[in-house]
């Protein structure tokens, strides 16, 4: 929302920057990345025609104009809070509202199914609507069509708060009668086999692993394109095809479907599942309570990272994220 060319969401960022006198500390307070907070500062500087914060020695200090803004900005936000945005105390035992979450079948299966069962004990009147991934999940956040977006960190927006929940990597899944699944999976064997992969939407957007493997020198032979992550397992059963699946999902479906799994025979970045909400809902106590409980559940159920997973440097993750987002203007989640 804008008022006389000023994006009112920036007032929250301005208040944090004036209070903390630090981009990094303000970013922590806002649950935003430093780059997003720096971008907000840049837009504020353009609007006010003033640097607002300047370097002095090893720290930052407020300009005279910034000092003048401290009390008015705080007063405006307090006025909004007390007259418009104030909410009654949140009591999970009595809270009666709906929370809309956009999530893939993968994250629904490995996180939400167990977490929402746990939440029922403490918040019996909370209602949840889980929506499938749309063509542009971030736009759904922007438009207020959903309350929470659960997706990979490569696909979240830097303009809104988010929280990392858990990390997952990939395994190869196949039928035990498939000769290729006898013994260790090799790179040569992997690329020689037929594959089942998942793609989504009218544009048949690939999942992250599919997109990443396409960038390898050797290409997979895709024989079946599945509509969901969960359906991949059934499509390799009784065949000589294989599927590359998230480890957490594979650990659930492999035993029940009588399949076997092997390690991926090359380096592939692990994914980080994140949850995101609109910055305007940063003080929504019900949503923050749900986010905190989802994070606690994710932490409690996080398995020890296998020894074969090579940690990915943050700079490399950032590079992959940029490439992934450039290739997918309407980013789909995992």
What secondary structure does DSSP assign to 94-137, as a single string?
T---EEEEE--HHHIIIIIHHHHHHHHHH-TT-EEEEEPP-S-H
What pLDDT is recorded for position 312?
Answer: 45
What secondary structure does DSSP assign to 297-328, as a single string?
HHHHTPPPPPTTPPPPPHHHHHHHHHHHHHH-
CB of 100 closer than 8 Å to CB of 145: yes
Dump pLDDT digits (tens) for 183-237: 999 999 999 999 999 988 776 777 888 888 887 778 899 999 999 999 999 999 9
Query: Given pLDDT bands bounded at 50, 70 and 90, which one contains residue 83?
Result: low
Q: In this predicted structure, which of 38-47, 120-129, 172-181 has the lowest mean pLDDT?
A: 38-47
- Percent of the chain scored above 70 by pLDDT? 85
Average pLDDT, the chain: 86
Check residue 197 and report its DSSP letter.
E
Please state, as a whole number, how many other Cβ atoms lie within 10 Å of the Cβ of residue 67: 12
Domain membership of residue 184 (yes or no) is: yes
Q: Whole-structure pTM over 0.85, yes or no?
A: no
Nearest-angstrom CA–CA distance, 101 and 117 = 15
CB of 110 closer than 8 Å to CB of 64: no
Q: Which of 234, 263, 292 is the last residue of a domain?
A: 263
**Does 157 or 316 have the greater pLDDT score?**
157
**SS3 call for 216:** coil
pLDDT higher than threshold 70 for residue 77: yes
What pairing do the DSSP bridges indicate for beta strands 148-152 and 98-102?
parallel
Domain membership of residue 32 (yes or no) is: yes
140 and 113 part of one domain: yes
134 and 188 part of one domain: no
Query: Given pLDDT bands bounded at 50, 70 and 90, which one contains residue 119?
Result: very high
What pLDDT is recorded for position 218?
Answer: 82
**CATH label of the domain that carries residue 255:** 3.40.190.10
| Alpha-carbon distance values, 166 to 8, 40, 111, 243, 273 (Å) | 32, 28, 9, 22, 5
111 and 46 part of one domain: no
106 and 178 part of one domain: no
The count of structural domains within the chain is 3
Nearest-angstrom CA–CA distance, 21 and 126 = 39
CA 318 to chain CA mean position, Å: 14
Q: Which of 85, 115, 131 is the last residue of a domain?
A: 85
- HSE at residue 182, side-chain half, CA atoms within 13 A, is 4
CB of 146 closer than 8 Å to CB of 108: no
User: 201 is in which domain, residue-wise?
Assistant: 170-263
Token reading at 294: 């989802």
Contacts of 234 (CB under 8 A, 6+ apart): 257
């Amino acid at each position: 929302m804008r008022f006389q060319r000023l994006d009112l969401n920036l007032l929250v960022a301005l208040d944090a920057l004036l209070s903390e006198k630090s981009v990094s500390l303000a970013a922590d307070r806002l649950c935003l990345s430093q780059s997003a907070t720096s971008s907000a500062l840049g837009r504020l500087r353009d609007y006010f025609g003033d640097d607002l914060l300047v370097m002095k020695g090893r720290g930052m200090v407020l300009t005279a104009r910034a000092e003048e803004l401290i009390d008015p900005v705080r007063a405006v936000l307090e006025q909004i809070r007390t007259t418009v945005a104030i909410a009654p105390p949140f009591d999970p035992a009595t809270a009666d509202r709906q929370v809309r979450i956009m999530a893939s079948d993968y994250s629904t299966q490995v996180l939400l199914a167990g977490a929402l069962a746990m939440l029922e004990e403490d918040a019996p009147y909370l209602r949840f609507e889980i929506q499938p991934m749309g063509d542009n999940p971030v736009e759904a956040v922007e438009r207020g069509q959903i309350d929470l977006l659960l997706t990979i960190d490569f696909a979240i927006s830097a303009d809104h708060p988010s929280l990392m929940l858990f990390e997952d990597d990939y395994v190869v899944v196949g039928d035990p009668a498939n000769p290729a699944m006898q013994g260790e999976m090799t790179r040569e064997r992997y690329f020689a086999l037929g594959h089942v992969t998942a793609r989504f939407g009218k544009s048949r957007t690939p999942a992250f692993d599919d997109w990443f493997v396409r960038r390898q020198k050797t290409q997979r032979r895709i024989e079946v394109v599945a509509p969901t992550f969960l359906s991949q397992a059934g499509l390799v059963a009784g065949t000589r095809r294989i599927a590359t699946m998230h480890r957490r999902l594979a650990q659930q479906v492999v035993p029940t479907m009588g399949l076997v799994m092997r390690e991926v025979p090359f380096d592939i970045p692990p994914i980080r599942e994140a949850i995101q909400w609109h910055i305007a809902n940063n003080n929504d106590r019900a949503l923050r309570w749900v986010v905190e409980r989802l994070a606690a559940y994710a932490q409690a159920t996080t398995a020890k990272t296998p020894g074969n997973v090579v940690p990915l440097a943050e700079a490399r993750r950032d590079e992959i994220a940029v490439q992934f987002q450039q290739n997918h203007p309407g980013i789909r989640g995992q």
